[in-house]
Amino acid sequence: MTALIDTPNLADHDGFYAELLAVHRGLSEAQSHALNAQLILILANHVGDRKVLSEALKLARQGFEAG
């Protein structure tokens, strides 16, 4: 059973981070939200492991109190 990897796993993370910001360039805030939503869906499909995705959702939610 694969667990969610929460230790370093992406070699060029600085490069990816820059690319992530760059892909939003020129978009309104609403467009950026839309793009992010699509990105989540694309990555979720690529991961293809329901358990890992649930763990990722849990990790992302950590520290957020209901607003």
SS (H, E, C) the chain: CCCCCCCCCCCCHHHHHHHHHHHCCCCCHHHHHHHHHHHHHHHHHHHCCHHHHHHHHHHHHCCCCCC
At closest approach, how far in Å is the CB of 11 from another protein? 25
Among 33, 43, 58, 59, binds another protein (CB under 8 A): 33
41 binds another protein (CB under 8 A): yes
- CA 50 – CA 52 distance, rounded (Å): 6
Closer residue to another protein in complex, CB, 7/28: 28
At closest approach, how far in Å is the CB of 47 from another protein? 12
Question: For binding to another protein (CB under 8 A), which residues are involved?
Answer: 33-34, 37-38, 41-42, 45
